[in-house]
Chains A and B, each alone.
Chain A
Amino acid sequence: MAVLTPQRSAPGSGAPERESRRLGFSQRLGRWDVKLSPYLYISPFFILFAVTGLFPLAYTAYVSVHDWSLLGGQGEFVGLQNFSDVLAQPTFWKSLGNTLSIFVLSSVPQVIIAITIAALLDQNLRSATFWRMGVLIPYVVAPVAVSMIFGRLFADQYGLINSMLGVIGMDPIAWHGDRLASHVAIASIVNYRWVGYNALIFLAAMQAVPRELYEAAVIDGAGRVRQFFSITVPQIRATIIFVVITSTIGGLQIFDEVRMFDATGLGGPDRNWMTTVLYLYDVAWGNQHSLGRASAVAWMLFLLIVLIGFVNFLITRQISTSGAAKKSKRKSNTRGNA
């Protein structure tokens, strides 16, 4: 304020100042424009983030330290009681195990298959657009519809897959009885939806790889496989990192597919395929009806995702720096040779 006052009183005296004052206004407008516009231009994201991201996050934290029932509303402040209640429930730990298992079973094959498909699509194909759009079709189908179709396929007694296993003389697999089998089934539903989507992202990155590199490799006598591992994969490293991180976040939040895997939608009688998000749903809208505990679960899941994201970041930074080091070494080698 003390700084503002002298400036405000300054233009109040003398005629020439008056002219400059009018100028001053338009100048001020111009200055506002320069200062304000950038903030206005970027503000939609931050306002949207504050409304849909930051506020729910903070509010969830507020709810998580209260006794808060779905219909009864806010109760008294209980501190970290909700967190310790949740940590004491064995179902929570089982759901974490399920989530990680389904995440590994889906993300790892997903990235590998997607990158392979992308490499195939990157070749000179006839009617390339048709094939490229074709891999995206599963992604367009609603997850619930996909889950219903796969539910028929993976039904224990009258499912298509078990019938086919019977035809080749194998015992039926208890898709809903065996813990690992149920995880494999759910992971395959997830993979069906997301492989094509990721393949297109990889494909876009592969299209940006300079063709001269391949030409040079062909002249050097490298086969397709060698080209793939020595040119394609290193060149699209940044995209691989992006896909790994987004599929990590998606994998830890999996809900639709597990919810639709059986009629009750709560992970089966043994809670064999109850993921953490499904557990959260059950705590809030199931028999416990405790939004407080559910918010505690949400925050722990958030922290877990941040933690795994951080580990991901460290690993991928490791890869990128070692890659850069190799590159610079190679560069210095070529320079030395020259």
Chain B
Amino acid sequence: MRIHIKGGRLIDPANGIDAQHDLYIADGEVVAIDQTPDGFGADQVIDASDQIVIPGLVDLNARLREPGQEHKATIASETRAAAAGGITTLCVQPDTDPIIDTPAVSELIHHRARQAGYARVVTLGALTLQLQGEHLSEMEELMREGGCIAVSNALNPLNNTLVYRRALEYAANFDLTVFIYANDPWLSNKGCAHEGAISTRLGLPGIPESAETVAVARDLMLIEQTGVRAHFMHLSCAQSIQKITRARHDNLPVSIDVAAHQLYLTEMDLGDFNSACHVIPPLRTQRDKDGLRAGLGSGTINAISSCHQPHDADAKLAPFCETDPGISALETLLPLTLRLAEEKVLSLSEAIARITSEPARILGIDGGRLGVGDRADVCIFDPQERWTVDYNTLASCGKNTPFLGWEMQGRVSQTLLAGQSVYQVNQ
């Protein structure tokens, strides 16, 4: 399949490109930019005039619910939703059922994703057996046989700091990045909302800022001691970013992502117990939101993730604390990121980098770039098109988003996965 993407504004932050360029694709790769290769005859010409062509998005954090919770969503349904959102690579956490602590589970996920064919799925292996924080998982085998590209204990706590230390050391042994959810479970204390003025008023058990910052401080010390490469997932507090900024000055190999919704919503959005805003980590304060945005602007925060967690309708139909936390977010990742450029938090190219080249670099995978010889994972979107997030038109099985009714600007018109069209608007 040979494709000529014609007349689009190509933004490829990894290669420092932001200009109108033609893209030539053959056999799943970018074979030329602007100059038609000798003997190239396009099977398909995509007119990208007035559109923006970027590398397919790489999402660091998404739950697909398969295996284990297929009543909520499946790998096929969610990778299809990812394609609709311009995402071509998804990274899934090991907290599936069964847990990804054997190569077989990882292989199953890869197999199902290949079968569906909408997006690439990469897996994180469990850092500890059954994510219970007691015994190390067979990380080398997970990597070698299961194709896991990094390890994580997902949202499960590692209470025993000795086991934690050993796990980090062991991961470092294989040069595996450890994905960390910074949370002190004792301080979180079964809370369901940010501990602040709103949770106090609503009488909701609060999760204090210290639940995250204390964990970040501890984790940084262990990272320094063990020399492991670490990635902090979906941080929510401005103070966490400050601490990691200081650690970066000491050359600690740490990266950070934030969930897109944390850049737009705050504790105030809980309103009258709006369960669509029940997320973990919780929506924090305006000051935290501003701090996260500043961290993006300064470059401390490397990536923006969807933190996609699709739920069935019943999961959100209960009193606030009894609902399942999480937002269905694959299809809003791109427009929310584009809005950051609109709001001058980042340049457009910097914003695109946070959802393409930077997450690919953190995962250590090929992707997130569109230079000659790179795989042709492409997202083409119309930057002017406005659309409303609507229950009936979301492709994800999960309709649990607080952005329902929000008007977004920038809509994916086509997504290519290794040169194959996997999504086309209105088809």
B partners with A: no
